[in-house]
Amino acid sequence: MYVCVCNAVTEREIRRCAQLGCSLGDLREQLGVCTNCGKCKHAAQQILREERSDRGESSAMRPA
C-alpha cells in the first residue's frame, strides 16, 4: 500500500527502513516521506512505532 502518494513510497519500504533503525528524519532524507503535502506523516510515524515495538518484543523473547 502506498503511504506517501506524492513520492510513491510504500508501507513495505518504510518498514524496511524502520527495521534498519531509521527515524522519520531519515525517511524524509532517503525516501522523501513528508516532504510535499505531509499527509503521510501520521501513517509513517505509526509504522515506525510498530516496527520499534516489534523489535523490542522479539529481542525480549530471545534467550540470553
Residue (of 53, 41, 35) closest to 14 by Cα position: 41
Q: Which residues pair with 31 in a beta bridge?
A: none
* Mean pLDDT value across residues 18-27: 96
Q: Chain-wide mean pLDDT for the chain?
A: 89
Share of the chain above pLDDT 90, in %: 83
* Mean pLDDT value across residues 10-31: 96
CATH architecture of 2-60: Orthogonal Bundle (1.10)
Q: Which residues are within 8 A (CB) of 55 and not within 5 positions of it... i.e. 6 or more apart?
A: 19
- Residue 11 contacts residue 42 (beta carbons within 8 Å): no
